[in-house]
Structure 1
Amino acid sequence: MDLLFLLAAAFLVAEAQACPEVCVCVARKNYSRHIADCSYQDLHAVPAGLPANATTLTLSVNRITSLREDSFIEVSHLQGLWLSYNEINTIRKGTFGFLAQLKNLDLSHNQITDFPWGDLRKLTALELLKLSNNWLEKVPLEAFSTLKDLRSLWLNDNRLTILSEGTFDSMPLLSLLQMNNNPFNCSCKIWWLKRWLESSSVSAPEKESITCATPKDLKGHVLWRTLALDCRLPSVQLTYRSSLDNSVLHDGLSLLLDCSAVGKPQPEIGWKIQMSGQTVVINGPNAEEEEGDNLLADASSEESPGRFLVFRNGSMAISKFSKADEGIYTCRAVNDVGWREVSVNVALSSSENPADDLLQNDIQASKPRSKSCDKEELPPSEEKVVVIYLTPTGSKTTTNRGILWEPWLWGSWLMLFSLAL
């Protein structure tokens, strides 16, 4: 029994003493903390032989230049990792991915240009992230999407010119955000950030140093205070016409959806068609003709490149419209400020409840503003294209007034037109 006790004691002592010579390892049992301090040692790499039970690892003020996938494999239970004031310029993907208990990560004052943002998705316990004083030029929109517990984020003194709208939306506990001393490009793409700084409860110290670097006429202007940007969210309108003046379609004729949008800068128009069993997305024009009088003729041409033709003016022509083409047609207008879209549900009048299946799984669709009129029974050779309802939808704007809606007066006109039919 005594022998077993001595062996166990020897094992525990050996484990406690497992510490690189250049580090100081301290166990604070009252707080269940095991600290490995390897700072100020002129290290060029993360040392091997770190204690497996370490909860805090300090490697600040060294000369480490790179981090590998296995740099911290010995200390997977870390809660604090401090790497400030090194010369880190390379971090391999997966370096931090398995540190699921990590709460504090400090990589400030290094030379990082390409950070493995995907690793953050697994660091769901993270509360502090310091990336300040590096060479970062961009932050992906979804970079912090899983950091629900993050309270302090430091991005200051980098080379950031733009941040995407929504970058900070997924962090409900965020209370401190440092992003001063970045060369922001004050175009309409940054318009949302100005509004966010004005209205957010998140503390952003040194706001006076959040300034524009470009364009030249705005250089040095404080972003959040008096900067005036001539930017407008898109406004969208959607109308339709068929290849027959009376909108009664013989099977195989064409339908034209005219989508027009205004905003600053000028919006780009794309389309999404949700049909039974498939969704088609067209992000830009796939046809050359612009003249409205020729669009339907071009759609009916045998040389047409596809069923759905999108022209440079935003119009879409559906060649040889049939039951297979029934569905929700959505026009989206996008510019640097944001986006808005409007949808119209198109179906042949011979169909019974043609939109029911689509609406059940379509989060953008809303109930019709009025009940559809009873459809007149027609011979199979003559089928009407009926706009069943119109659903305008809009993105979240960057003002503090919430969602903005345009007056969709033309939607009422379409409903009256369908009723008249």
Structure 2
Amino acid sequence: MLEGTAAHLWMCWRAFYLLAAGVALACEARLPCPPSCRCNAAVLEVNCSGGQLTSVPNGVPQDAKLVNLTHNTIKTLVNHQFYNLSQLFHLDLSDNLLAFIEVEAFLGLRSLLTLRLARNQLKILSVGVFAGLKDLRLLDISSNKILVLLDFTFKDLASLELFTADDNDFVFISRQAFAGLTGLKRLALDVQNLTAVPTDALAELSVLRSLHLHQLGLTTLPDYSFHHLDLLKELVISRFPQMESLSGNSLFGLNLTSLTITHSNLSAVPYTPLRPLVYLVYLDLSFNPISYIQGSLLGDLLRLQEFHLVGGSLLRIESAAFKGLVHLKVLNVSRNLLTTLEEGSVQSVDVLEVLGLDGNPLACDCRLLWLVRRRPYVDFYGCPPTCSTSVQLQGWNFLDFAADDLSNLLTCRRPRVLNRKPEDVRADQGHTVVFDCSAEGDPQPSVSWLNPQLRHISPVGRIRALTNGSLEVRYAQPLDSGTYICVASNAAGNDSLPVSLHIRALPSKTHFQTWLVSPSAPPGGSGNHNLPFDLKTLLIAATIGFFSFFSSVSLCFILMFFWSKGKGQIKHTATIAYVPRSAVSNSNTGATSFKETGRFTMKLI
């Protein structure tokens, strides 16, 4: 952004120099002028705008510094079209019917600084079209119908600093399309028909400071989309209507000072991608359906000075939302759905200089008392906030309040928990218990719950605080027993109500055990042990065992049946044989005798 401003100032100084030189020469010669054009000898300008020209006119003076050919019907630029205009600084061909530019059409314009080709009918730029433009600083090809950017299309534009290519029909950007743009500092690119961020092509732009991307149809900005752009300071992402989130590392490697993400579909502030941007000074998330700014999640943006979220869906800015942002000077949350902005949301209210809060349905009560007292020191962009929801103060703006009446007009009523009858609930283990808690006050108090350890109960988990203010304990366990506290809070104070919960444990369940007799039991023991199984258990076990055995036997018979059918008829033969054997025995007298024995052997064939 700073480099772009410097370039514009440089061109302004050069134009001023030309003007001074032209005035000095005005009396010496009169600038010759082509038909249908108007010439100014003082600044060496040839103005042919709106001259109904169908081609570049002949007779343009060779010493011309500015040539304006806008609002004509020129369709083609031929080779060496401006070859004799070596001293030309600025050429504007916007708002024509240009459909084709021949290669080397601008050859010879070696002093050209700015070239504007916006709002024409160009569909392609051939490689070599910009040959010879070694000093070109600004190129504008926006609002054409260009489909592709080919490799090395801009390789001759080493001095180019500002390049605008918005509102085109790009379907493809080659990886080396920007090769040669070694001095480019600012790029504006329309990527409506692309399916991804052209990360590889952007990697060629090593000194890029400012990048504007418009109309990309992504639902999520991918990781490492810009990780080669080490010197990038300003990133503008606009009109990404489908983009709902940013991946955690989508901004990895950037050292931005300015980030704008507008007219997209973000439903939450992208806290994780923002965390590494410790040098960020300006952040704009306007025109996104963001509902909440959570507390204590932006503290890493230590240098942030401006935060903008205009035209969103903000319902609430939580306490400590801007905690740690000690340099925050500008906060603009106009045209949202906020009913208040509490003092605790801002880290240092004394630093705040500009606040946009108009267009919100504000309830003027004690929560805004701090802001009314600081109205002499805060700029409201010329639109002071207006009370909308308070009947007594409806239509009043912050400048209408008298200092003496503030304590009587901007009031709050302390909350009170309704139905204060103490609850003592007893339930069996495994049941679900719900405690109701409601409160009244002005403004409407928020209801939270504390567990027996006095810790806040979250909206998720087995024990959770519901959005209607109730407490739900699911599948209650004995360890959940204790005293829970309902706390109702608003800006005027708080009120509480304790409730007790007692969970009865279920009887211990009977487990199957194996009955074993210890081998070390004394032999004289009675052996009368109670079996751990009752009759019903034994019947069930026997039935299961019988069916398992019966199923196994049946399966074996079925398999044998089919096997035998496959083998055909089989003859079975049985042979029984008697085999005699001798045995040796010892008598008491020490003599040895032999005894005849026998054995039957049967073979089944």
TM-score (norm 1): 0.47
Bigger relative contact order (CA 8 A; separation at least 6): 1
CA radius of gyration, larger in: 2
TM-score (norm 2): 0.34
